[in-house]
Amino acid sequence: MWLYLVVLLGLWNLLRLFRERKVVSHLQDKHVFITGCDSGFGNLLARQLDRRGMRVLAACLTENGAEELRSKTSDRLETVILDVTKTESIVAATQWVKERVGNRGLWGLVNNAGICIPLVPNEWLKKEDFAKVLDVNLLGMIDVTLSMLPLVRKARGRVVNVSSIMGRVSFSGGGPYPISKYGVEAFSDSLRRELSYFGVKVAIIEPGFFITAMANSDRLSSNMKMLWDQASSEVKEIYGENFLASYCMEHALTSCHPRTRYSAGWDAKLFYLPMSYLPTFLVDAMTYWISIKPDKAL
């Protein structure tokens, strides 16, 4: 009996691999709008899709970020300044996108913009600290999505929301960040079910803690920056552009059969994701030892 189960599992994986390798046709004619392209995942994805010949519409928070991105990409890539916490900025960016996509609609919307600090115990914070993070990571993402949805629906395209493994397992010392990512997970699930009737697919990217930190290396502690700078080129490649941007986010946009969720990083796949299915008392015990503790944070 076990042999039959192994054979069935093997066949299922082969079928899944075959389906996921099928690529959407005419990628060079499709527009993708990405938020948070100044640095990190959004910047890497914009450059990767540009190299594949897609029409990238990159939203940056600053003009300096937009200018630097344009200097590293082709003339196909266009940038716009966007603050996801301001509805008027989102409305202006939506009109800008509409003028470029025309009747074809928007193939891909990637909600990548986000902030992860402050990562401190909840008691250290005020309501305003929570509101600041939620405004960017959750409410801003929702505002952008609702504004762009008519364009995505017209193209029967994709919505890709960047969450985190902390949207599954919340650690003490995480502050408002995991709260925002739990919200991203919930919104994405309901959105996926609603939009399936219109042929629109919704995918969630769940980076592990280490890979998320590397993408935001300008915000790291000096010790972690030093470790990252000293890491080998092979380690940087595994935890950098080739792993996340090229596989997870790009696959969600270009595959005929994208996954519902992508766990990015070996820490996410082998540690945090399995942890999320364990009994609560075990998760509490495990997170106690790896979370930020008040005496260590002082």
**Per-residue pLDDT tens for 262-293?**
987 777 777 778 888 888 888 888 777 766 55
Compute the distance between CA of residue 6 and CA of residue 14 in angstroms, rounded to an integer: 12
Please name the residue that has the structure tokens 């030093």: 226
In this prediction, residue 20 carries a pLDDT of 66
Structural domain contains residue 3: no
For residue 193, pLDDT beyond 60: yes
**Is this prediction's pTM over 0.75?**
yes
In this prediction, residue 295 carries a pLDDT of 53
Q: What percent of the chain has pLDDT over 70?
A: 78
CB–CB of 185/228 below 8 Å? no
Compute the distance between CA of residue 164 and CA of residue 273 in angstroms, rounded to an integer: 11
Three-state SS at 214: helix
In this prediction, residue 168 carries a pLDDT of 87
Domain that holds residue 152: 27-292
Mean pLDDT, the chain, rounded, equals 84
Compute the distance between CA of residue 171 and CA of residue 177 in angstroms, rounded to an integer: 10
Domain count, the chain: 1
Q: Confidence class of residue 99 from pLDDT cuts 50, 70 and 90?
A: very high
Could you give the dihedral angle defined by the CA atoms of residues 185, 116, 205 and 234, in that order, rounded to the nearest 10 degrees?
-160
What tokens were used for 278?
Answer: 């364990």
Structural domain contains residue 102: yes
Angle at which helices 87-101 and 141-155 cross, to 10°: 20
Structural domain contains residue 10: no
Structural domain contains residue 230: yes
Structural domain contains residue 248: yes
Q: In what order do the strands lie in the sheet with 201-207?
A: 78-81, 55-60, 31-34, 108-111, 158-162, 201-207, 261-264
For residue 297, pLDDT beyond 50: no
CATH number, domain of 253, equals 3.40.50.720
70 contact partners, CB below 8 Å, separation of at least 6: 77, 79
Structural domain contains residue 2: no
Residue 69 carries which side chain, given as an amino acid letter?
L
Q: What percent of the chain has pLDDT over 90?
A: 52
Structural domain contains residue 5: no
In this prediction, residue 221 carries a pLDDT of 47
Give residue-wise pLDDT tens across range 5-43: 766 776 666 776 666 678 888 999 999 999 999 988 899
Structural domain contains residue 15: no
Strand segments (E) across 195-267: 201-207, 261-264
Residues annotated as catalytic are: 177
For residue 222, pLDDT beyond 90: no
